[in-house]
Amino acid sequence: MRSLMALSFALVLVALIIAGCSEEKPPEIQLGVDKCDMCGMIISEKNYAGLYYSTKEKRWKKFDDIGCLVMEAKKEGDAKAGTIYVFDYETGELIKAEKAYYVVSRDIWTPMNTGIIAFKSKEKAEETAKKQGGKVMSFEELMKMEMKMGWMGGRRSERTSMSHTGK
């Protein structure tokens, strides 16, 4: 009886270890093909993009602009730390959102004009914020920031004259 209990315990322990090690990695974003899950625009520039795993929909969601990611994550309320990723603005490196430093400035162009870009390096973020007259924020601070459909913090340009309309 004892050996059966020990075997059962060992099997449960192995199953838990395997489940913990099989964390699904985020998919690649196919530039020019994938669409933003918030606004429906084609994702054409990785350094503004982000993605997170929706526990409600059991799938990865992709975004053309960090502002789109933040608004969708707030709306769904299921974005958990460790399942949200952004790209370093300069290097294009995929980084966990809670480890990034964000620069928010009206003078930074982004696809949906939210004016939000991410950096792996705090120093690079501070340097960019100083140059662009922006503010450095953590992901936690970014999630608390007031944003709504139609809010576009970044400057307008000839490249973008549309507002966020959703799907």
Nearest to 133 by CA among 108, 100, 101, 102: 108
Instruction: Report DSSP state, residue 3.
Output: H
* Cβ contacts of 87 within 8 Å, gap of 6 or more: 46, 47, 48, 49, 50, 93, 94, 95, 118
Percentage helix, strand, coil for the chain under 3-state DSSP, each rounded to 5: 30, 20, 50
**Confidence class of residue 95 from pLDDT cuts 50, 70 and 90?**
very high
Nearest to 85 by CA among 109, 57, 52, 107: 52
**Confidence class of residue 77 from pLDDT cuts 50, 70 and 90?**
confident
Is 150 part of any domain?
Answer: no
Token couple for 106: 């009206």
Per-residue model confidence (pLDDT) at position 56:
84
Is 9 part of any domain?
Answer: no
Mean pLDDT for 133-160 is: 70
Phi, psi of 131 (to 5 degrees): -65, -35
Is 155 part of any domain?
Answer: no
Is 156 part of any domain?
Answer: no
Structural domain total, the chain: 1
Is 108 part of any domain?
Answer: yes
Q: Which of 17-26, 122-131, 153-162 has the lowest mean pLDDT?
A: 153-162
Most confident of 60-74, 118-132, 144-158: 118-132
Is 34 part of any domain?
Answer: yes
* Residue numbers of the domain that contains 36: 25-144
Q: E strands along 110-162, which residues?
A: 116-119, 135-137
Mean pLDDT (the chain) is 81
The residue that leads in pLDDT, 134 or 154, is 134
List the beta bridge partners of residue 62: 51
Percent of the chain with pLDDT over 70: 71
**Confidence class of residue 73 from pLDDT cuts 50, 70 and 90?**
confident
